[in-house]
Amino acid sequence: MKKLEESVKIGPVTAKNRIAVPPMVCFHWSDDSGRVTEKNVEHYRALAAGGPGLIIGEATCVTKRGRLHETQLGLWEDGQIEGWKKLAETVHAYNVPFFVQLHHSGVTGIDLEADCPSDYDKKVGPHGCRGHEMSLDRIKEIEDAFIQAALRAKKAGLDGVELHGCHSYLICQFLNRNVNRREDIYGQKEETFALEILQGIRKACGPDFAVGIRLAAFEPTLEDGIRHAKALQQDVDFMDISYGFNGESHPEAPEDFLYSAAFYGAQEIKKALPHMPIFGVDGIVNGEQARGVIETTGIDMVDVARGFLVNPDFAKDVLAGRDCGKCLHCKPACRWSPFLNDGVVNCPGRTLFLRNREKAE
């Protein structure tokens, strides 16, 4: 039986425990430049000091047009490398490996003439943009943007990258047959777009740089998700399993399954690929859940997001058997929401956690 405290080998990288901080965009902390700020540095310093086995930096765009939000961090130009170098040095000071998630929104972003594998007429995205079928030249341009962004991450001293291949974004759009209706190889074999990016990154960055993908278990069905995972397995060091294109996929799990459908999908992909490091995510907010999902599903890493936002020391506290706090599910009033612009809203869950800890002491 796997234990939360055990180390995990992820390609060329070793995580000291099985708790990962997944990508979480810090809206409004940067600006249109997409450059790292001191606020980002201090945020990642606190996370690294909290003892996770791995941190995956927030969704970071590979082109300015492909952004999810105007304040999203980027790696689309060399001028952004220095900020990421500072982040890498900050995280590495705590003996924590540091990846970055490479991202392109496609039809769900801010571009009103958005890229999409096929024309897509449903209204999606924050500005109601619609998708326009990408030409072959445009596909190659975006593939190269991912590869160049990965090279910048390596130059900045990061340990690896994770492609964002789920949550309705561009790679996810290629993988979902309800969105991707192309008749060429990118539609006939929908993994082609992701495969060409992964292979390009491998060639450019070499074997000492971890390469993985955040992949939907249900794209649109679990059978499709398992097929995609098998098609990509030779070109990745890990798979981080979550949900697919919103409204065009069908997540499900048995009624007696203890966790979310995303963890069920991760469990089933792990069964299909027993030697692949598989991560799982969705709603883990305390130590009991984190331990349970590792011990019962067979996956290799558990992603904890909101737990670290309430308490940056989540991993230390869980591994020591201490209270780690609790997310109060404050959306849309959450201080991490893209809809808040003042940047001064406190986290009620963290306020309660600190108050209770003070009383206990």
Instruction: For the beta carbon of residue 12, count every other beta carbon within 10 angstroms.
Output: 15
Question: Is 169 among the catalytic positions?
Answer: yes
Q: Angle at which helices 38-49 and 81-92 pack, to 10 degrees?
A: 20
User: Of 129, 112, 128, 117, nearest to 178 (Cα)?
Assistant: 117
Q: Which residues contact 4 (CB under 8 A, 6 or more apart)?
A: 17, 18, 19, 287, 290, 291, 294, 302, 318, 319
Which is the catalytic residue, given 44, 94, 120, 169? 169
DSSP 285-297: -SHHHHHHHHHHH
The residue to which tokens 């203890």 are assigned? 258
N-term to C-term CA, the chain: 35
* b/e code 258-270 from CB counts within 10 Å (16+ = b): ebbbbbbbbbbbb
Copy the structure tokens of residue 263: 């963890």
Active site residues: 169
